[in-house]
Amino acid sequence: METSEKPTQKRTLTTADPHDRTRDRSVDVLRGLTCFAMILVNTAAPIHPGWLAHPGDMRDPITFADTLFPCFLFTSGLASTHSRSSTHPVGRNEGYARIKRTCIRALKLSLIGIAYHNLIPRLTGFHPHSILDFSTYRFPSVLGRIGISSVVCALEPCLDIPPPILPGILALVWHVIAGLRPLTPLHHSSQAWLDRVVFGTAHLHQPDPGFDPEGLLASLLTVPISALLGTYLAAPLRRMHSVSLINPLGITQLLALGILGSSLTGLLPSPASKLLWTPTYVAQTAATSVLYWSFSTALVSFDIPLTRPLISALQILGQRSLEIYLISASASFSLQKFGSWDALAHLITRLLISTGLANHHHQRDLAVGVARSSLLGLAMIPVAKCLMHFGWKI
């Protein structure tokens, strides 16, 4: 990877996309950092640090792993703000055309998500059912959640809805619908009930008792707020300065701001839970996303020979983060199928023993798992570069 000279780096980026010259490097670096961390989480060994684990209960505290997907959504809001600022305002017809394109992309993401959750585990022998047993296919997915939330977020610019009316409405509707049923146990919640009605119990992540963490209710209502907060923080509420109490639209904006603030701060109470993607969880992960964004911005600002290779590698990962998310997970499945995943762990273990590092068995197992996942993440950098070279993108 050539990164020692700026012209070479610029040429590498512009061959894949003619708009790369206007890209915000800090956003790409943030995506790259998030992508690499997601690889660590998704391919974690059975014995792994607690910060790489997702909680399995509503009472469990938020972990580092829980902050990654909200940060990915937050970053999409940052990127959308940058792309809007570099283009002229669109008319109503163009707005509807954009919603149509977003819906098509959402459908494509949902289909890819279904294939990812069902075909790959069956082909590699990690799922007991046949590949043709469609009655056991899981329908909700992470990619489907991204697609659904992107359609909801697209309503704001395409319909010219002043901020923060849309997220205020979404938060209020979530509280109303979620309050119709108890939040715990999870299979009694409104999210579980809606998923069983729309998809059927057999098509959820947990058919018994009937719950899916990528549920439809959160995908429609609270997940989009994570992306919209990225939009607002990247470009503060520019139109709020004209709010007037004698203007109905201004009153609506202030009311929506109050509802959104009350929801995110817990004045309208909800537990901070990723499983239901509650508003307080959105608020907490938005705060961590701002910290991650600040770190990526600081990293990009240190444009020195020592940091350029790292920045370039993260940019490459960031520009193909969704594709790498799928490829890395498929690669780990395949490596496990052929025994290479365990062989790599054994090789790293022998290396640690020979160097006298991590003599404690538990610490060594933790180090081996993180090192193995990190090697897979590093291997994804040339893969992402290849995807960029050929222009392959979801």
Residue 66 domain-assigned (yes or no): no
Q: Are residues 333 and 239 in the same domain?
A: no
143: in domain: yes
Q: Based on the domain organization, do 46 and 187 belong to the same domain? A: no
In degrees and rounded to multiples of 5, residue 206 shows phi and psi of: -120, 85
10-residue mean pLDDT series, the chain (394 residues): 38 41 81 95 89 82 92 90 55 77 94 91 83 91 95 91 93 97 93 96 91 95 95 68 66 89 91 93 95 93 89 94 92 88 91 73 86 95 93 84
Q: Given this model, what pLDDT does residue 69 score?
A: 94
Q: What is the pLDDT of residue 126?
A: 80
Q: Three-state SS for 256?
A: helix
Domain that holds residue 333: 1-53+303-394
Phi, psi of 305 (to 5 degrees): -55, -30
Confidence (pLDDT) at 5: 39
Indicate the residue among 285, 301, 317 that finishes a domain: 301
Round the CA-based radius of gyration of the chain to a whole number and report it.
22
The verdict on residue 58 lying in a domain is no
Last residue of a domain, one of 254, 285, 301: 301
Residue 10 confidence (pLDDT): 38
Instruction: Name the token pair of 320.
Output: 């193909």
Number of domains observed in the structure of the chain? 2
* DSSP secondary structure letters along 297-361: HHHHH--STTTHHHHHHHHHHHHTHHHHHHHHHHHHHHHHHTTHHHHHHHHHHHHHHHHT---SH
Last residue of a domain, one of 258, 276, 301: 301
| Shared domain check, 297 and 324 | no
Tokens of 155: 């309503």
Three-state secondary-structure class, residue 53: coil
Report d(CA 283, CA 272) in Å as an integer.
Answer: 9
Work out whether the CA dihedral 127, 129, 132, 138 comes out positive or negative.
negative
Alpha helices in the chain (DSSP H): 6-14, 25-42, 68-85, 92-123, 142-158, 165-178, 190-198, 216-221, 223-234, 248-265, 279-301, 308-319, 321-337, 340-355, 361-390
Angle at the Cα of 379 from the Cα atoms of 150 and 4, rounded to 5 degrees? 95
Question: pLDDT at position 125, please?
Answer: 78
Contacts with 210 (C-beta within 8 Å, 6 or more apart), sequence order: 187, 192, 195, 196, 201, 204
Question: Could you say which DSSP state residue 206 is in?
Answer: B
Question: Which class for 115: exposed (0-12), middle (13-18), buried (19 or more C-beta within 10 A)?
Answer: middle
Contacts of 158 (CB under 8 A, 6+ apart): 90, 95, 96, 98, 99
Does 295 share its domain with 178? yes
Q: What pLDDT score was predicted for residue 96? A: 81
